[in-house]
Structure 1
Amino acid sequence: MAFAEQGGLPSLEILFEHMADAVYLLDPVTSNILWCNRAAYADLGLQASEVLHHSVLSLQKDVQGLPQWADIAQVIRTADCYTFVGRHRHQDGGEIPVEVNTTHFNHQGCDYFLSVARNISKRLSLDEASSTRDERLRFALEQAMDGLWDWSLLTDAVYFSPQLKRMLGYGPHEMTPHVETWKHNVHPDDRDQVMSLIDQHLRGRLMRFEAEYRLRNRNGHDIWVHDRGQVCERDAQGRPTRMVGMVQNITDRKLLELRLEKMASIDDLTQIPNRRSGMAALDQQIALSERSGGPLSVGVLDIDTFKSVNDRFGHAVGDEVLYRVAVLLRQTLRPSDLVYRSGGEEFVLVLPAAGRETADAIAADIHAAFEAKDWEGDLGVPDVTVSIGLATYPQDQPQLHKLLDQADLALYRAKEIGRNRTCRAGDLLAAPAPSVSPID
């Protein structure tokens, strides 16, 4: 970018090169740096070629990915000046705290962002001679934590630290300093629990407030936080008047925990509960039936001749059949029912509050759904059928903990007498027990 020299004065380009602040001209869509002055790269230990035509996200540590950039760009377009306090990466691996002020403009039909980034390291340093002990303590806490809040219970005014505002995507002068601002950002599903924990602490039932919950940032995304707080001031009657707390962003850890929990409870192939979590759910339903005396039915379902599908079409097709079977079962069962993969081609049906008649009807619906599906057209395999063994408490089995075993025996009977059918545990009393386990 060139700027003409006029009337003997230095050109605008020379003026920009001598600015102490970094200046960037950005493409709002791609986030690419179209032009920058010397401070924009030299202060970061970089060369101009390492900055120009690269994404500004490569410099910024607090904005990750184009989706988040698109959200911020939308805010910039609607603001006269968007202020963001963040951190720029230095070439040596360190970081530089910066305050970035961004404006938008249109030139010859093209939109641009103009950002001025100021190094605020000196502003953040403390003058020991003029700082009080409380100020130094607050400074240390603010720098050590992702966020700090200070709530006056008398006025409901809340101080939000710059780090907390930055964590939620706000500038240093944004976020109304009131408790309702915070309440509004707490995820609706977490709000009651969080407020209950705070109330218990204020009433002296908990030594301190501590919770993990979701906070919504300015762009509508939820982040997970670990929030801890405690009453620090009381009036003459001992009533709490001030409460302070610290917030830590635990989104990465929480998402990892959720993924691990899912891996531990969900069958990776069929995306339904695995045997471990399915058995836990069955135990819960057994306990409920024991307390209420209500009926409970359990079914064991096996895909007929599944080994031949693997042998003829390969395991990839076999895996797809297993997945489609799981989908079909979820679609056919009632919302209150549960299906989990027990292993191989075997699935277990847990049918709460289902007596014999209801369980028989559900099994009939399953057979009908398998018969109606075009397996040949969808996967190129012959029609897939299933055998089902059912056991119902209390009609078939008065002992709840034997339901699964009884349903399993009924399944063997169904496969022995021809497959593609349902047999009941109660019917085994009138039929000879299978002497040899049927081969799939």
Structure 2
Amino acid sequence: MADYKDILFQLSASFINLSLDQFNPAIAAALGTMGQFVDADRAYVFWHDLEAGTTSNTHEWCGPGISPQIDCLQSVPLDSVPDWVQPHSQGQVINVPDVGAMPESPLRDLLASQEIRSLISLPMIGKNGYQGFVGFDSVRQHRFYSEEEVRLLGLFANLLVSVEERRQAEQAIADSEERLRLALEAANQGMFDLDLMSDKVIVSPEYARMLGHEPDSFQETRSAWLSRVHPDDQVMVLGVLEDYLHGRTTGIRVEYRQRTITGEWKWVLCLARIKQWSADGRPVRLLGTQTDITELREASEQIHRLAFFDSVTELPNRSLMLDRLQRNLARIGRLRQRAGLMVLGLDHFKDFNATQGHAAGDRLLCDLAQRLLGCVGPTDTVARLGGDEFVILIDVLGAEADSFSGMEAVALRILEALREPFALQGPSADEPRHRVHHVDASLGVVVYQDQALSAEELLKNAETAMYAAKAAGGNVLR
């Protein structure tokens, strides 16, 4: 029996450090080794699919001149071989020295059709119960297995169960990793594992590809990562990291721009948490994901522009102007300052559109927008309300006496800027500008210093003043 123990030891060693694609060849080789060792003619493994109620011959070894049976023993209904399943499920070994001496049954007929004279079949029982069996057939001669041989073959069956359970576990891990890889790839997401003690970083292939690098040649470090962060984002990103590492926040969630290998900037969303701490409570490992959100940011910015900016002049629209006006009201009320609002309406713009066309009208509005921006300060706002109407928010004015003169000075600068004729595009885009047009405008002004009126009410008052200026003949200030 010492030889049995030696062969089992050798077989056990052969299953160490196997990769997933090596398990099946190793099991087939082990069947051949054990089949030859016990002088069998055929050795095989059946694994059950209990959900489907079937069993299949998954591995087989045949000696010289012995016909294989594996192809015709797939998805066999378990209820068709109750004489096999029932004793095995109770942990019993089926040891048949003489198939011809078996009682008449479909099972005996099946074994006889395969010219089997003797066989032994041992149940494979693992963590999930009865899972299958391993068997050895004798075709050339009868074979009787002693109790000691049965015990040692049972150890071989247990070895195969352990190997299969390990294979299933590793397959489940591989499947999970593949699903995660596909999910990360589909979501433009990569993973990173930062060692805070050495600053070395382990990254997933998707992380490298996101930045345009080949995964096999890409090496990440904390300093290399920081060098790729957009200069305008670095202080903010480092602040988020420091806040988390010092316990001021519960996790890292930050959006920033990162440079790819081609030099372009990609927006990424970084989510991360500490996954390992040292014995003295210091953070050791930071695990997280990095998601490419460039398209999402661009779409969001496009939606923002459509919602808050005029499509012709690219100035803020009415909604954004009212928001800024409301914020301005809150600030000047708190600081006891004054601010001013001015509505400008072009005189006779409908006639211009009718004679020159809407394309020329849009060009005129764009040129006018640039002139208005040149008449105000960097903290002031110029917006288009729609049609030929614009609004100018002067963020802060001087004392009461100076505030009205300040608004008047802005209005006079605007009227002066409009006296310069507008050069309009010729009939085609390739022709130089040769047509000129003079523009007159009416302006309505309000000055405010508290929140007595809402933003909508202030804007309405300025519009009313502008319409009064138009009624007075236009090209004046009210």
Shift of 1:421: 1.5
Alpha-carbon separation, structure 2, partners of 1:362 and 1:346: 17
Q: Which amino acid aligns with 1:418?
A: G
1:165–1:175 CA contact under 8 A, matched in 2: yes
1:321-332 correspondence runs (5 A): 321-332=364-375
1:37-436 correspondence runs (5 A): 141-145=180-184, 146-354=189-397, 355-375=403-423, 378=433, 380=435, 382-394=437-449, 399-401=452-454, 402-423=457-478
Alpha-carbon separation, structure 1, partners of 2:178 and 2:250: 25
Alpha-carbon separation, structure 2, partners of 1:392 and 1:379: 40
Shift of 1:398: 8.2
Shift of 1:194: 2.2
What is the DSSP-based 3-state SS (H/G/I as helix, E as strand, rest coil) of the residue aligned with 2:378?
coil
Q: What do the CA deviations read for 1:300-359 (whole angstroms, capped 9, x no partner)?
A: 100001111122222232222222222221222222211111121111110011222222
Alpha-carbon separation, structure 2, partners of 1:141 and 1:201: 26
Query: What fraction of aligned residue pairs are identical, expressed as a percent?
Result: 31
Alpha-carbon separation, structure 2, partners of 1:381 and 1:416: 26
2:252–2:272 CA contact under 8 A, matched in 1: yes
Q: Which amino acid aligns with 1:311?
A: A
Work out which of the two has the higher radius of gyration on C-alpha atoms and give 1 or 2: 2
Unaligned runs of 5+ in 2: 1-165, 398-402, 426-432
Shift of 1:251: 1.4
Alpha-carbon separation, structure 2, partners of 1:148 and 1:382: 60
After superposing the two structures, state which structure 1 stretch, 151-160 or 128-137, moved more.
128-137
TM-score, normalised to structure 2, is: 0.57
Q: What do the CA deviations read for 1:121-150 (whole angstroms, capped 9, x no partner)?
A: xxxxxx959969988866664553231111
Alpha-carbon separation, structure 1, partners of 2:284 and 2:304: 40
Q: Which amino acid aligns with 1:399?
A: A
Alpha-carbon separation, structure 2, partners of 1:177 and 1:317: 54
What is the DSSP-based 3-state SS (H/G/I as helix, E as strand, rest coil) of the residue aligned with 1:332?
coil
What is the DSSP-based 3-state SS (H/G/I as helix, E as strand, rest coil) of the residue aligned with 2:255?
strand
Q: Which amino acid aligns with 2:417?
A: A
Q: What do the CA deviations read for 1:74-126 (whole angstroms, capped 9, x no partner)?
A: xxxxxxxxxxxxxxxxxxxxxxxxxxxxxxxxxxxxxxxxxxxxxxxxxxxxx
Alpha-carbon separation, structure 1, partners of 2:371 and 2:167: 70
1:142–1:148 CA contact under 8 A, matched in 2: no
2:422–2:437 CA contact under 8 A, matched in 1: no
Alpha-carbon separation, structure 2, partners of 1:203 and 1:253: 31
After superposing the two structures, state which structure 1 stretch, 408-417 or 290-299, moved more.
408-417
Q: What do the CA deviations read for 1:275-295 (whole angstroms, capped 9, x no partner)?
A: 111111111111111111111
Shift of 1:272: 0.6
2:313–2:365 CA contact under 8 A, matched in 1: yes
Closer, same or farther: CA 254–164 of 1 in aligned 2, 3 Å: same
What is the DSSP-based 3-state SS (H/G/I as helix, E as strand, rest coil) of the residue aligned with 2:215?
coil
Q: Which residue number corresponds to residue 45 of structure 1? A: none
Closer, same or farther: CA 381–128 of 1 in aligned 2, 3 Å: farther
Alpha-carbon separation, structure 1, partners of 2:422 and 2:195: 66
What is the DSSP-based 3-state SS (H/G/I as helix, E as strand, rest coil) of the residue aligned with 2:374?
helix
Alpha-carbon separation, structure 2, partners of 1:363 and 1:328: 12
Shift of 1:216: 0.9
TM-score, normalised to structure 1, is: 0.61
Q: What do the CA deviations read for 1:201-256 (whole angstroms, capped 9, x no partner)?
A: 32333332122221111221111112211111111222211111111212112211
Closer, same or farther: CA 374–211 of 1 in aligned 2, 3 Å: closer
Q: What do the CA deviations read for 1:137-179 (whole angstroms, capped 9, x no partner)?
A: 6666455323111111111111122221121112335454321
Point out the structure with the larger helix share: 2
Shift of 1:406: 2.9
Alpha-carbon separation, structure 2, partners of 1:379 and 1:296: 40
* CA RMSD, Structure 1 to Structure 2 (Å): 2.7
Alpha-carbon separation, structure 2, partners of 1:155 and 1:164: 20
